Amino acid sequence: MKAATNTLAAHRKRRFDIWDVLIRFALIMASLVCLLPFIHVAAKSLSDDAFVIANKVFLWPQGFTLEAYGKIFADASILRSLYVSVVVTVLFTILGMIITICAAYPLSRKQLKGRTALTFLFMFTLYFGGGIIPEYMLISNLGMLDTWWALILPQAFSAFNLLIMKTAIANSIPTSLEESARIDGAGHFRILWSIVLPLSKPIIATLSLFYAVGRWNAYQDALFYIKQRVDLRPLQLKLYYLVIQASESFQLEATQVSLSNPEVLKASCVVFATLPILCMYPFIQKYFVQGVMLGAVKE
């Protein structure tokens, strides 16, 4: 009997190990699918034109050169677009988090009357929207075309992030803490500032990353709303205009850049636009997993 039990345990352990290996293999493959294209683009941006034309660049630079990056930094319009993207992303993230926190906290408290109906109204916007044309007409009627506000206000709130924040606060902040603070005479804003926010750092960091990455990578709204003022084009929109050009001459507004292969300049622009947002992740990595798990817990 004991031998049979040991055999069954060994079989289960071996089967578990096989699944563990398969899962690890799948995760490694998924990671490589995400990582290798970026490494390939980075290698092309650091390679000489001749090697790129001959398709000899894969995961390692050939004929290492920084000429493409020199052309980027020499063009004032790209640096201006980088400045616009940084300013818009910072303001967008701050405003989005303020709105999300101020909406999620009261909706997470059971004493708020009608919170189920209000939550449904926010959730309704995840499934139904007015569309691009009504939104464009609204922005135009408000006089926000070709302004900074057209890049910040329209998308500064996410109902999806609100629901995550609401669930996280409801499950991680005990009502007893709030009741104790009320006994001591604390009001809603005091409780929010002194209790809720310090205990919600993981989910705040996670949603801030969501807002920042979403704004940094967006270009469609700028394509619609920024027409006349070229100086307000964000970096991603600038990159979009570069990528869609298939000719061997790139008109970068301020300078004429001629390369034997435009793929080198495209690759350098992609890397140039991606690195700033990648540099943010290591600073909030310790909060990221905790925040995602908190938001995944059902109420």
pLDDT in tens, 177-186: 777 878 877 7
User: Does 133 lie in the same domain as 48?
Assistant: no
Instruction: Give the residue from 64, 90, 121 where a domain finishes.
Output: 64
> pTM of this prediction?
0.75
Percent of the chain with pLDDT over 90: 6
**Number of structural domains, the chain?**
2
Q: Which position has the token pair 């990159």?
A: 239
- Give the C-alpha distances (Å, rounded to integers) separating 9 from 5, 19, 20: 6, 15, 16
pLDDT, position 279: 77
Let me know if residue 115 belongs to a domain: yes
User: Does 172 lie in the same domain as 250?
Assistant: yes
Q: Which residue range forms the structural domain that includes residue 42? A: 19-64
pLDDT, position 93: 92
How confident is the model over 42-70, as pLDDT tens digits? 888 888 877 877 778 888 888 888 877 87
Query: How many angstroms separate the CA atoms of 216 and 237, rounded?
Result: 10
Let me know if residue 71 belongs to a domain: no
Phi, psi of 90 (to 5 degrees): -65, -50
Query: How many angstroms separate the CA atoms of 182 and 135, rounded?
Result: 42
User: Does 80 lie in the same domain as 192?
Assistant: yes
What is the number of helices (H) and of strands (E) in the chain?
16, 2
Ranked by mean pLDDT, the top range of 91-95, 124-128, 195-199, 206-210 is 91-95
CATH code at position 120: 1.10.3720.10
pLDDT, position 177: 79
Give me the mean pLDDT over the 66-79 stretch: 78
Token pair, residue 235, equals 């970096």
User: Does 163 lie in the same domain as 43?
Assistant: no
pLDDT, position 97: 92
Environment class of 215 (CB within 10 Å of its CB; exposed 0-12, middle 13-18, buried 19+): buried
